[in-house]
Homo-oligomer: A and B are copies of this chain.
Amino acid sequence: MSAVKVGLLGLGTVGAGVVNLLARNHDEIARRAGREIQILHAAARHPDRPRDCSTEHIRLTADPFEVVDNPELEVIVELIGGEEPARELLLRAIDNGKHVVTANKALIAKHGNEIFEHARAKGVTVAFEAAVAGGIPIIKAIREGLAGNRIQSLAGIINGTSNFILTEMFYQQREFADVLAEAQRLGYAEADPTFDIEGVDAAHKLTILASIAFGIPLQFDKVYVEGISQITTDDVAYAQELGYRIKLLGIAHHRGAGAGISLRVHPALVPERRVLANVDGVMNAVMVTGDPVGATLYYGPGAGAGPTASAVVADLVDVARENNMDPEHRVPYLAFQSHDLSDEPVVGVENVETRYYLRMDAQDAPGVLADVARILGDASISIEAILQKQPAPGVDHVPVIILTHRVLEGRMNDAIERIEALETIHGRVTRIRVEHLD
Contacts and interface: CB of A to CB of B under 8 A. Distances in A.
B137 A145 contact: yes
B31 A215 contact: yes
A330 interface: yes
6 contacts: A31-B337, A278-B278, A292-B306, A321-B329, A324-B325, A325-B325
Interface string A287-306: 00011111111111100011
Contacts of A135: 292-294, 296
Given A292-B309, A307-B293, A326-B324, A144 B300 contact: no
A309 to B, nearest CB: 6
B150 A25 contact: yes
A141 interface: yes
Interface stretch (A188-196, A310-318, A411-419): A310-318
A48 interface: no
A34 B325 contact: no
A149 B290 contact: no
Contacts of A299: 275, 296-299
A301 B294 contact: yes
Given A135-B296, A299-B296, A140 B150 contact: no
Which of A22, A137, A321 has the most chain B CB within a 10 Å cutoff?
A137
Contacts of A85: none
A148 B314 contact: yes
A225 interface: no
A84 interface: no
Given A25-B150, A34-B332, A326-B324, A296 B300 contact: yes
Contacts of A217: none
A28 interface: yes
A129 interface: yes
Interface string A322-354: 111110111110011100100000000000000
B310 A293 contact: yes
Nearest to A141: B137
Contacts of A298: 141, 296-299
